[in-house]
Amino acid sequence: MKTEKIDKRQAIIDAAEKLFCETGYEGTSTRQISNESGANMAMINYYFGSKEGVFVEIMNNRIAGFGSQLKIINEDKISAIEKLNRVIDGYATRILSNPSFHKMMHRELSLSQRPEMYNKIKDAMSLNMQLLEKILTDGQEDGSFKQADNRMVIATIMGTLTNIVISPHKVMPEFDLDLNNPKDKKMIKDKAVAHLQDLLTVYLTTKK
C-alpha cells in the first residue's frame, strides 16, 4: 500500500509537469492532472493541496536536484575554474534536458500575478545561489579569480542559457533549430557552454 501511494504521488507530479509544459500553468486544471495521472482529485488535494502545490513541488524537486549537484562540485578537490566550468556544463545539461519545462517555468515565475508562488520557492533557490557564490568567493580568496560582482556572474550564466532556450534562433540564425532534436540540442549546448566558459575564464582571471 505504501509503494502504491508513492507511485500515485509521483504519477501526479509527472502528469502535472507534462501538462504544464504543453498548456502552461493557467491552461492546466486539477481535473486534467487527475485524468492524466489516474489519481482522483482527493488524492491530489491530500498530497499537494492545490495545483499550485503541485507546481511548487516540481520546482523544489528540480532546485534540490541542482543543489545536490552543486554540493558535489563544491566538495571536489579541483581548481576554482574547473568547478565553474562544471557548473556551466551541468546547468546547461539540466535545462536542455527539458527545454519546454524551463521555458514554462521562466514564463510563469516572471508573471506579476505569481508573487506568492515565487515566494514559496525563493528560499530553495537562495540556497543554490549561495552554493554558486561559494565557488566564486573561494576562487577569489585563493587568488584564482579577481574580485567581481558574483551575482552578476551568476546572472550571466543563467540569463544566457535561459535566453538560448527561449530563442535558439538568435544564436544560430542559419539553422532551423529544434531543441527536442538530440543533434540540435547538442549543437546549441556545446556552443553555449564553450562561449560561457571562455567568457568567464577571461573575465575572472584577467588581472587589471
Q: Which residue has the higher pLDDT, 101 or 43?
A: 43
Q: Quick one: 88 and 45 in the same domain? A: no
Q: Do 149 and 127 fall into the same domain?
A: yes
Q: Which domain CATH number covers 137?
A: 1.10.357.10
The upper half-sphere exposure of residue 39, i.e. CA atoms within 13 Å in the direction of its Cβ, equals 24
Mean pLDDT of 104-125: 77
CB 41 within 8 A of CB 6: no
CATH of the domain at 1: 1.10.10.60
132-152 residue pLDDT tens: 999 999 999 999 999 999 999
For the record, the C-alpha cell of 18 comes out as: 507534462
Considering the domain architecture, whether residues 20 and 81 belong to the same structural domain is answered as no
Domain count, the chain: 2
CA-CA-CA-CA torsion sign (149, 198, 127, 78): negative
Q: What Å distances lie between residue 80 and 66, 140, 152, CA to CA?
A: 18, 9, 17
